Structure formats: C-alpha cells, structure tokens
Structure 1
Amino acid sequence: MKLYGLFTALTLGLLCACVPHREPIPQQARLEEIPAQWRSPADGTAPIERWWQGFGDPALAALVERSLARNTDLLTEAERLDAAREQIRLSRAALLPSLDAVLGAQRSQDFGAAGLTTTTAAQPGLQLSYEADLWGRLARLRQVAELQYQASAAEQQSLRLAVAATVAQGYVSLLSLDRQLALTQETVESRQAALHLAEDRARMGYTSELELTQARAEFEAAAQLVPQLEQAIVEQEHALRRLAGDSPGPVARGTLDALHPPAVPGALPAALLRQRPDLYQAEQQLAASDLFLDSERDRFLPQVQLSASLGRLYVNALDYDPVKVWNLGASVLAPLFDGGRREAGVAVATAERNHAAYAYRAAVLTAFSEVENALSGLDRLASQSDRIEARRTVLTRSLEIAEDRYHGGYSSYLEALDAQRNLFDTQLTEVQLREARINRLIQLYRALGGGWQAPEHAADGS
C-alpha cells in the first residue's frame, strides 16, 4: 500500500509538472501612462446624467426617452443580456451534484436444470454523480460567465448611449434643416420681388437684359433649394421615427433658436476609465479571457469523479419483497495523451487573452482621442461662429448699401444680387455651424460616458 501511495503521489506530481507555462500579457498591450489633463481645457462641471434634458426642449427629451424604450436594437440586446444571465446559472450548475432517477427493466428466458425459465426484473433507483473541483476549474468557469454577463450589461449601456446620442444629433439636424428651409423661403420671396422689379425696369428700358437674366438666375438658384430641403426634412423625420421604433411620419419638435445647449461637462482622463461602458466592457472581457486561460491549463490536472446509486430490485413479481441495491464509487481521470488537444486549447486561450488585452488598450486610446477631438472641436467651432456672425453683420450692412445705391441709380442691380448671394450663403453657414456646435457637444457627452458609472462590485446577474 505504501508503494501504491508513493506511485500515486509521484504520478500526480508528474502531471502537475506537465501544466504549460502561463504566458504573461504582451508588453505592447499594456497601457502607458495616463495623461493627467486634456490638451484642451475641460473645466466644466455640468451634470452628465440624462444630459438630453439639459437642452430645455421637451420634444427632444420625449423623443430620446421613447427611443430608449422602443428601439429595436436595444430590445434585441436585452434578449442577449438575458442569455448571458442564464449562462451564469449553467456554470453554477456544474459545481453541484447531479441526481437522476433511473428505471431498468429486463425480461429473459434461459434453459437450465429446471428446464425453461422466464425471469422478469425491474430496478428503479437514484443515481448521484459529482465532479470534485479540486483545482478550481469549474469555479473559474463560473467567474468567467459572471464577467461575460457584466461585459454584456456594459455593452447594452453602450448601445443605449449610442441611441440617445444619435437621436439627439438627428433631432438637432432636423431643426437645422427647418431653419435652413425658412431662410431659403425668405430668400426666394425676396428674390422673386426683385425679379418682378427687374422685369418692370427692363420693360421701361431702365435696366439691361444682363441684369434681368441674372436676377432670374438667382431666383431659380434659391427656388431649387426648397424641394431639396423639404425632402431632406422628410427623410430625417423618418430616420428619427425608425430609431424610436415607429413607422414613418412627422416628428413633433421645437426650433433651433429655442434650443439652449447645456454647459460643457468635464472629467479627468483617469476618471474616464470608470465612466465609459465600452471601456468597462473591454476590461471585463479581458478578465474573463484571463480566467478562461487558467481553466484551460487546469485540464492538464487529474479530474476526480464521485458517484453513488441507490435502488430496489424486483424479480418476477412486483409484490415480492424487493432487494435493496446500492453502489459507491470514485474515479480519477489523469490525462496522458490526447494528440495535443489540451496544448492547442491553452494556445488558443492565450491568443484570445492577448487579443482582449490589445482590444482594451485600443478602446482606451480611442476614448481619449474622442474626448480630445470633441473638446478641441468645440473651441474651434466657437471661434468659427464668432467670425461668421461678424461676417453676417458686415454683409447685412453691405446689402443695405448696395440696394440704396441701386435705387439711387449709382450702381447696377448686379451689385445688389451679389450682396444678397453672399448674405444668404453666410446665413446658411451660420445655421450649419450652430448645428455642428450642438452636435459636437452631444459627441462630448457621449465620449464622457453619458453619466454612466462602473459598478463598485460586479453583480452576478441574479
């Protein structure tokens, strides 16, 4: 017996020595030093939670809330999250014994000393089996399922944030199109009146054919923009309603001028790691792949199976006194040769862990870039807006001077038409810049995580 125990211990030691070396995470996948501050100033203290309510537009808030409740992509993602939750239950079940009810029945006919005999036997019973998790492999798989559930929950939050931001940006674009259409219609009316005046002056010989044709061309140029903008508005309405899970139709809304963007939010780069759900998702996936690698290495170690059965044996008649039968057993499965399957499994798990590490680093770098771009974009757009506002003021005065000179007979109508064209283009650009500034602010709210915070302790999905 002593020799047998020594042989067993030696065998287990050799098997443990065969476990492959655990490769560390590649140095290139590790995060470098996180910057202490952003390149562009970010000293805002505006709250980020439910940021869409800060614009002071009830129609925008209602549209975002409706989209979060009815968007088909979000509803689909909720089902995936339920599936991830059930995976936790499956992994927990592997840690518990399994109990099965069995019923065996047999009827046989044999020829013996007493002649031909027929035997009928029935054996109902219970069977219990259990894998002793000596090395923690099954426990690690349960933790993997829990981490994957956390990653799925974070992915759902990332999608919610994306839907909210897309709806808000689409709504602002719709208001911008409304304003551009109104400006275009005003310009069309103004140019139509100028065209009638030019036609009257041409009939009386007070103006040239060139001025008349130029006035007609400018009128048509503005008039052809109206149907384009109207079609763009219809398509934008349909896109917003699709995001909200509705069929095509009109969208209730306010005006661009009544939209008051909230203050610029701020956050330190280090805090961003716990404020973005996509970063938390990548972090959980890395942790899950790391644990799964350990579970693959555990496959090189022996597995211990325990079993037990208890039942009754009935022979020839159910009214006979049954015989109690039982069985207790244990087995040790020590892997010796499988054609390299386990080594390949560890290699695959190592590659997937490294892939998750690179993905996490890439996600962090992308998050930092998105915040930096949004912050710098807000500064540049603010400077552009100041310049375009000054240009609009100058061109408004220039148009007044050109019209006064035309009516006073000091210049041709071509100067007035040129001033009108420049002012109209500047007005459209000013509206588009306001749209771009608001949408860049929405982009910043999204880049900062939209008010989401990583949970202090990972939930288990129960």
Structure 2
Amino acid sequence: MRARRRCIVSASALLLGACALGPDYTRPELPVPQQYRSQTDAVATSLGDDDWRSVYTEPALQSLVESALLANLDLRIAAARVEQARAQLGSAGLRQLPGLAAEGGVERGQSSEYARAAGQPRIGESGTLRLSLAWELDFWGRLRRLSEAARADWLASAQAERAVRVSLVANVATAYYSLCALDERVNAARSSTQTREAFLKLTRAQFQRGVVSGLDVASAEAQLAAAQVSIEDLSRQYEQTENALAVLLAQNPQPLPRGTCAAPQSAPAGLPSTLIERRPDLLQAEQALVAANARVGAAKAALFPTLSLTGAFGALSTDVSELLTGSAETWSVGVGLLQPLLDADRSAYQLDLAQARKREALLLYEKTVRTALREVADALVAQRRNADVLSAQQAQVDALQRAEDIAQARYRAGYSSYFDVINADRDLFAAKQARAQAWLGAQLAIVDLYRALGGGWDATVADGPP
C-alpha cells in the first residue's frame, strides 16, 4: 500500500511540473481600419447587434423566418455537426484520465496426463479477479493539446451553425422581397396589357373608319403581345422564387403567404473592430486557427518519449473457494517509457505538416477578415447608391406617366402619330420595371448589410459552447 501511495504522489508531481509544448494561441494582429469605406460616420452601435425581428418587422416575413429556423435542413445538418464535434471533444478529454478495466473468470478443466506436474490433480479449477489501471502521464502536453484542438473544433462547428443561421435569415428575406418586386412587375405588366388592349381596340376602330393604316394596327398588336409575354415570363420567375423559398422552409413547392412588403429597418454599421467579435464565419475561421495551433504542440510533444503509469490489483487462485482470501491477493505497479526510434522521421514530418496547416489556417483567417470588410463596404455603398437610384427611377416613372397621358390625348385629337403613343407606352413600361428592380435593390442592400455585419443569429436559440 505504501508503494502505491509513493507512485501516485510521484505521478502527481510529474503532472504538476509538466508543461504543454508548442506555442500558446494569440490572435493575429491584422490591419483593421477605423471605419468602413463609404461609412459616413463611425459609431459604436451597429445594425448587426439588432435582433432580426427588429430589422424585419413585416409579420408575414417574420413568420417565414421563424419557420425556416425551425425546419431548414441545412441548419439541422449544421446542428448535427455540432453534436459530432461535442462527442469528439468528450472523447479527447477522457484520454487525459486513467483507463480502468476489470476482469474476472472461473475455469475448470482437465490437463494431459503427460503434461501435469507430479502430485497435481488431473482435473482442476482456477479463478481470477483483476482491476487494472493504465495512465499516460501527459508530461509533454500532447493530450492537452489534442483536447484543446478538439474544443476549438467544437467552437468552430458552433460558429458554423450560427453562420448558416445568418445566411438562412438573409436568404429568406431576399426571396421574400424578390417576390414583392416580381409581384409589382407583374402588376405593371398587367396594367400595361390593359392599356394596350384598349388602344388596340381604339386603333382597329379608327382603321375601320380609314383614319389610320394597317401598320398602326399591327404595331398595336405587337405591343400587346410583348406585354403578354412579359407577364408569362415574370410569372415563371415568381413561381420559381416561391419554390426556392419553400425549400428554405423545408416544405414542398407551394404558394406562400405574403404581407405588405414593409421595408427592413436600417441602422449604422458600427465599427470594424467589433465585426471580428460578432460575425460567425470570422469566429469559425479563428477557431480553426486555434485548433491548428494546438495540433502543432501535439506534434511537437509526439517527438518526445511517452511516459505511462500502470497498476493492477486482484486475486489468483487454483481453488475458487480461496479466491477472495488474502493469500490469493496480487498487485503490481509499473512505469513505462516509450521512445519510437524508427518512426522519428515520420513524427518530424507530422510536425512539418501541422505547421503548414497552421500557416494555411492563418491565411484563411486573414482572407475571411478582409472578405468580411469588403462585404460590409459593398453593402454600404449599395445602400446609399440604390436609394438614390430608386428616387431617380420614381421621378422617371412620374415624368413618363405624364408623357404617356399627353401622347394619348394628342393621338385621340389627331395631333400625334401612333408611334408617339407606342414610344411613350414602351418607355413607361420599361421605367416601371426598372423602378421595381430599384426598389428590390434598395431592400436587398439592407439585407446584405445585416448579413455582412453578422446579424441574424439568436443567442437564445443558437447558443454555442461556453
């Protein structure tokens, strides 16, 4: 018993004095700007900090987003990967603990007459009870580094799930506002069709009276057909977009409810320095770098001898009835040292591999940061420019509407040719289509900004590892 206590104390001293090889992780210093490009004024508050329900206030859109967050298959796949990483972390942590095993058995048999010792009965029995312990003393920190890497993988998977959630909220909003714009474009095409049908009827009547030629009738028929084709094409786009939205909701293609298409709420972008702490794909890339850094330490530790502690306690007896007596008691304690000789080069190459993967992870992290900054800058300039485009497009529609009214009045009075009416109607139709596209661009600019800032994941639902 005293010998066992001395071994335990010695092992504890080794563990307390041990250190983990390899560099401890520190976040890379990247040249992050003080404010985003195209940002008018840098303030601490950010749109990315707002809950998605306060950004998308339309009840119909909120209902769609909630349905997607509950049922979307990509999000459920990401959640399953988090559980996989959680299990791997648990397995890695247990490797730092002693392995304990118990065995026991009873055997009765007959030995050969020619093999048994003198005086030994030919038929005999034996019993064994054994409790064994094996513990790799993590003197160089290999197991601790592997556990650190597994934890980083777990955190990375949790951030990946949040990134899927951010993209899902943005994709649902994008599809919703695309449906709104397509609906407006279809309505504009139908309105133009009604106008052109009325003009075709008027032109045919004037042709019968000899006021206009057959060319005017053919032109009116062509303009009507063009509007009808536009309705069919836009209706196709509408249904396909609705089908894509249904897939995001994990539903079969079907009609989906829509509300008043209220615009999303906007807010300042905030500071670039906070983006690194908020955006899930940046945090995911950083955790991948943490894991790669830890695996460098594990590879370094693999170059050194492995120290293990073994122990066993049990009983062995040729008489089962004496198995639990003190005379049958057995025990052993040992310390093992393993230093691979022929595999030394392989371990060195494994270290080179780990270091190369760390450099790759560092470059990917830097690329992800720069891409995120670019996406925010793109969304900011799109938000400002698209608002100006929408304002100008509305002014164009108002002007062309007045021009068409004047052209129709002059045509009825006989002061203008039908080609003036055709040109005015065609220009107005194109301007209305462009206005719908400009409106969509203005809404999607806010959606893209919210996504680029990492907004959209709910901490109460997508809470990651502590």
* Number of the residue aligned with 2:197: 192
Match for 1:400 among 398, 405, 408?
405
1:349-368 matches, cutoff 5 A: 349-368=354-373
Distance 2:174 2:95 in 1: 47
Using the alignment, how far apart are the partners of 2:251 and 2:259 within structure 1? 20
Whole-Å Cα distance in 2 between the matches of residues 64 and 331 of structure 1? 59
- Does the 8 Å CA contact 1:52/1:60 hold for their aligned counterparts? no
| TM-aligned CA distance change 1:129 to 1:446, over 3 Å | same
Match for residue 230 of structure 2 among 207, 225, 237: 225
Ranges in structure 2 where 5+ consecutive residues have no aligned partner: 1-19
Go from structure 1 to structure 2 and tell me whether the alpha carbon gap of 1:268 and 1:47 turns closer, same or farther (over 3 Å shift).
closer
Q: Secondary structure at the match of 1:329?
A: strand
User: Within 2, Cα distance between the matches of 1:146 and 1:339?
Assistant: 28
**SS of the counterpart of 2:340?**
coil
Equivalent in the alignment of 2:425: 420
Q: Residue in 1 aligned with 2:311? A: 308
Question: C-alpha separation between the residues in 1 aligned to 2:94 and 2:124?
Answer: 40
Identity among equivalent positions (%) equals: 32
Which position in structure 1 is the counterpart of 2:287? 284
For 1:235 and 1:241, the matched residues in 2 are separated by 10
34, 37, 43: which one pairs with 1:36? 34
Does residue 461 of structure 2 align to residue 430 of structure 1? no
Residue pair 1:88, 1:460 contacting (<8 A) in 2 also: no
- 1:8-51 CA-partner distances (Å, limit 9, x unpaired): xxxxxxxxxxx9998x99xxx96542111222025475644223
Shifted more, 111-120 versus 83-92: the winner is 111-120
1:310 is matched by which residue type in structure 2?
F
Q: TM-score, normalised by structure 1?
A: 0.88
Structure 2: how far apart are the matches of 1:74 and 1:424? 41
What secondary structure is seen at the aligned counterpart in 1 of 2:104?
strand
Runs of 5+ unmatched residues, structure 1: 1-18
> Which residue pairs with 1:81 in the alignment?
82
Deviation at 1:266, TM superposition (A): 1.5
Q: How far apart in 1 are the matches of 2:85 and 2:206?
A: 77
Mapped partners of 2:331, 2:237: distance in 1: 79
CA distance 1:30–1:460, shift in 2 (3 Å): closer
Structure 2: distance between partners of 1:227 and 1:459: 47
Distance 1:293 1:320, change over 3 A: closer
Displacement of 1:172 in angstroms is: 0.3
Amino acid in structure 1 at the alignment position of 2:340: P
The secondary structure found in structure 2 opposite 1:262 is coil
Q: Retained in 1: the 8 A contact 2:410–2:416?
A: yes
Indicate the larger mover: 170-179 or 142-151.
142-151
After superposition, give the CA deviation of every residue in 1:53-100 in whole Å (9 maximum; x if it has no partner): 434310001101110111011111111101111112111111111111
Shift in CA distance, 217/185, structure 1 to aligned 2, threshold 3 Å: same
Compute the displacement of 1:375 (Å). Answer: 0.7
In structure 2, distance between residues paired with 1:194 and 1:438? 35
Q: 2 CA distance for matches of 1:218 and 1:393?
A: 21
* AA in 1 matched with 2:51: R
> TM-score if structure 2 supplies the norm length?
0.88
Cα distance change of structure 1 residues 320 and 306 upon mapping to structure 2, 3 Å threshold: closer
Report the CA distance between 1:123 and its aligned residue. 0.9
Structure 2 counterpart SS, 1:273: helix
Tell me how far 1:179 sits from its aligned partner.
Answer: 0.9
Cα–Cα, structure 1 residues 321 and 303, in superposed 2: closer, same or farther, change >3 Å? closer
Q: 1:42, 1:266 within 8 Å by CA — same for their partners in 2? A: no
> Which residue number in structure 2 is paired with residue 135 of structure 1?
140
Task: Check conservation: 2:68, 2:248, Cα contact below 8 A.
Answer: yes
Distance in 1 between residues matched to 2:35 and 2:413, nearest whole Å: 60
Q: Structure 1 295/444 Cα, relative in aligned 2: closer, same or farther at 3 Å? A: same
Asked if the contact 1:276–1:452 (Cα under 8 Å) also holds between the matched residues in 2, the reply is no
| CA positional deviation for 1:153 | 0.6
Compute the RMSD of aligned alpha carbons.
Answer: 2.7
Q: Distance in 2 between matches of 1:91 and 1:231?
A: 53
SS at match of 1:318: helix
Query: Does the 8 Å contact 2:128/2:316 carry over to 1?
Result: yes
- Quote the Cα distance in structure 2 between the aligned partners of 1:104 and 1:143: 40
Contact 1:53/1:61, CA 8 A, preserved across alignment: no
1:38 counterpart letter in structure 2: Y
> Deviation string for 1:238-261 (max 9, x for gaps)?
2111101112211100234xx133
CA deviations 1:191-234 (Å, max 9, x no partner) are 00110110111011111111111011000000111222222222
Counterparts of 1:239-278 in structure 2 under 5 Å? Answer: 239-256=244-261, 259-278=262-281
User: Which of the numbers 296, 299, 308 marks the counterpart of 1:296?
Assistant: 299
Q: C-alpha distance in 1, partners of 2:245/2:352?
A: 47
For residue 38 of structure 2, give the secondary structure of its aligned residue in structure 1.
Answer: coil
Question: How big is each residue's C-alpha offset from its partner over 1:125-151, in whole Å with a ceiling of 9 and x where there is no partner?
Answer: 111111111122211211111111111
In structure 1, what residue type is equivalent to 2:321? L
Alpha-carbon distance between aligned partners in 2 of 1:418 and 1:91, rounded to the nearest angstrom: 73
Q: 1:339 to 1:303 in 2, by over 3 A?
A: closer
Aligned partners of 2:40, 2:86: CA distance in 1, in Å?
38
CA positional deviation for 1:316: 4.3
2: distance between equivalents of 1:321 and 1:88? Answer: 40
Q: Deviation digits for residues 381-425 of structure 1, max 9, x if unmatched? A: 122222212211221111121112111111111111110110010
Say whether the 8 Å CA contact 1:242–1:248 is kept in structure 2: yes
Q: Within 2, Cα distance between the matches of 1:52 and 1:20?
A: 47
Deviation by residue 1:329-354 (Cα, 9 ceiling, x = unmatched): 11111233316110111011111111
Q: Does 1:332 align with 2:332?
A: no
The answer for the alignment partner of 1:391 in structure 2 is 396
